[in-house]
A = this chain, B = another copy of it.
């Protein structure tokens, strides 16, 4: 299982618009091949910064199957106008579970 963290800064004042767009977009991620969970995390120290957490069965489910798809375009239509700069995405895999 792969965890994608997509980090994005939102234009100040557009946070509620962004959060509403993420909620509307959940349907696109839910039906995306290999997408297993989705949550949105907001930074305490930088309240206009968010991290979208998505788990995928494989990296390619994100980078090949979802990225650039019609549903990806719908997702971007909902939120891209609220971005302050470009989002960055990174993929991680768990190497240790403490408790």
Q: Contacts of A43 on B, CB cut-off 8 Å?
A: 90-92
Interface pair B98/A37, CB less than 8 Å apart = yes
Give the contacting residue for A94; candidates B2, B40, B93, B94; CB below 8 A: B40
How many of A's residues come within 8 Å of B, CB to CB?
A: 32
Partner of A91 from B2, B37, B45 at Cβ < 8 Å: B45
Looking at chain A's contact residues, the main secondary structure is strand
Known contacts A98-B26, A98-B29, A99-B30; A92 and B42 CB within 8 A of each other: yes
Contact check, A37 vs B99: say whether CB atoms are below 8 A apart.
yes
Residues of chain A having any CB pair with chain B under 8 Å: 2-3, 5, 19, 22-23, 26, 29-30, 37-46, 50-51, 59, 90-99
